[in-house]
Structure 1
Amino acid sequence: MNSSFIGQAAEHAVNFLFLHFRGGFDAFSAALDAVVKLLQDGLGAIPFVVMLVAFVAIALWRKGAVFAAFVGLAILTIHYMGLWAQTVSTLALVIAATFFSLLIGIPLGIWGARNGRAEVILRSLLDFMQTMPAFVYLIPAVILFGLGRVPAVIATIVFAMPPVVRLTTLGIKQVREELMEAGRSFGSTDSQLLWKIQLPNALPSIMAGINQTIMMALSMVVVASMIGAGGLGEYVLSGIQRLDIGIGFEGGLGVVLLAIILDRLTESFGVKSARKKSRARTSATPTRETVPTQS
């Protein structure tokens, strides 16, 4: 089956980049691979007991004893299935992809909130990124960066970045105008308005975007196992290739448990930020008792 003019144009564009900028892609690939490898080796060097205690302690701090007990049981289950090394590898890929997604996505979200034309362009681009099937991103990533962790991270960044861009823009645009007017009346500059008013008040929305980015990164890392990403996704892929229900189920269960842990922990930061914001609004609203009356 031959592709149409649109498909041929996309193919020529990718081939042009590969032929004329191969040295740059190789250098970038080596640098990114070194970062991901360092993160994987660092997490892998931490003893299992230390990681278990750390996750349980964070869960106890953020969500309470019940969720801490679940986290401990989930991690012990992953370890019992012999998937701890794969889980650490997947966690490292998710952290790397999420970090770069936030590094790029949050500034883009700020730009979109403060520039109407930029928002229109970004919205169209994000619609394209979110609706394009995840498997399609793997093709140019493999052509430009080869097989392994680097194309997996690149494809994951493209796939996982839209939520944080959208929700950062939304959060900043929803900041109450009276707060902005109060800041301007005190002579605040644009950068001061951004850092001291807009971003703090948009934090619950931004945290929701970070949460969604982590979840999408985790789902894409599993898909990217087909190009050598490794981790739990490779275990699931092995189960599919062998038609082994047991291996597939164990790999899938490991992904689910890791996803629940990451989802609940990151969600807790956004929920508590929203509660603090709500309490601040309530305390700032004058009640009947606090409003002075004229005698």
Structure 2
Amino acid sequence: MDWLTEFPQLAGRDLRLMSRTIDQYYRSFSRAYGDTIEAIFRPLLEFLLWFERLLIQTPWWIILLVIVGIVWLASRSKAITVGTFVALILIGVFGMWEDTMRTLSIIVVCTLMSIIIGMPIGIIMSRSNKVQAVINPILDVMQTMPSFVYLIPIVMLLGIGLIPGLLVVVIYAMPPIIRLTNLGIRLVDKEVLEAANAFGSSGWQKLTQVQLPLALPTIMAGINQTIMMALAMVVVASLIGVRGLGQPVLQAITNQYFTQGVLNGLAIVAIAIIFDRSSQAYGKRLQRHREAAHG
């Protein structure tokens, strides 16, 4: 019975040896290929820095009008548009404009990356139950893994900076757009697809002219959730060098600056509400157009 008593210690020792071996291999891999991987993402970094400079260096009132105009075109709601205007004015009054623009730039870039990578994966999932069965567990892990755990392998590989921060945010924020693209396409009415087949539509034509347009309200819900999850990672990403509203919040936690933390936290909330309300309103408009077309 001694082996039963010693089993936890023996198993723990073996696990520690195995983890050290994996860590050594990963360190060797990061030393050998870290610079190459970073060079691959350098064009993305340059685009992000250019977009950030554009938002910061453009006169504030032009950025304000552009954002308010986009919100109005998306939502067609006076309440949401006025709320956006007031929120952005208050952000400027309290001296958080530059940090807000930095946060806005990384959220926009991360959302675009998530859409570019996630939508094709969602489309592939919708066409094969086997692919869906393989990818779903991966998405489950991505959504349930504690956000700080994402930092470990990426920081070991790429160090501190904007590129690892960008990758962390994209990995954390991408699952909703993949899931809801897959769901939206699968929910398209079979009779509509049969009609498209009857007219001799090709697979590409069915996808671009039937499935994606009809699935767009669901896909918009996925984009909305992706933006919300990206914003949720702003403070965590500030730990590895991502500038913006997350850094003042982190400083406030470290130095117990209550007012600074609350104000920057409220700015993050304001951006989240602006994105959420305008994208939801746009999704509802698409849904109404869809129902009107079917009606």
- TM-score relative to the length of structure 2: 0.90
Task: Indicate the RMSD between aligned Cα atoms, in angstroms.
Answer: 1.8
In the alignment, is the contact (CA less than 8 A) between 1:29 and 1:145 conserved in 2?
no
One-letter code aligned to 2:108: I
Q: Distance in 2 between matches of 1:10 and 1:247?
A: 41
The residue aligned with 1:54 is: 66
Match of 2:39 in 1: 27
Aligned to 2:240: 227
The answer for unaligned runs of 5 or more in structure 1 is 283-295
Deviation of the 1:7 alpha carbon: 4.7
* CA–CA distance in structure 2, aligned partners of residues 145 and 111 of structure 1: 30
Distance 1:13 1:164, change over 3 A: farther
Cα distance in 2 for residues equivalent to 1:54 and 1:201: 29
Matches within 5 A, 1:1-295: 4=16, 7-8=19-20, 11-12=23-24, 14-61=26-73, 62-282=75-295
Q: Deviations over 1:182-212 (max 9, x none)?
A: 1111111111111111111100110100110
Unaligned runs of 5+ in 2: 1-11
- The amino acid across from 2:181 in the alignment is T
% same residue: 37
Distance in 2 between residues matched to 1:5 and 1:207, nearest whole Å: 47
Q: How many residues align?
A: 282
Partners of 1:153 and 1:221 within 8 A in 2: no
Query: Bigger shift: 62-71 or 4-13?
Result: 4-13
Deviation at 1:36, TM superposition (A): 1.2
Q: Is the 8 A contact 1:126 1:162 kept in 2?
A: yes
Give the distance between the partners of 1:143 and 1:77, measured in 2 at CA. 39
Deviations 1:71-122 (A, max 9, x none): 1110011001100000000000111111111110000000000012111111
Whether contact under 8 Å (2:80, 2:278) holds in the other structure is: no
Tell me: CA distance 1:121–1:4, structure 2 relative to 1, closer, same or farther (3 Å).
farther
Counterpart CA distance in 2 for 1:127 and 1:85 is: 35
Aligned equivalents of 2:270, 2:89: Cα separation in 1: 11
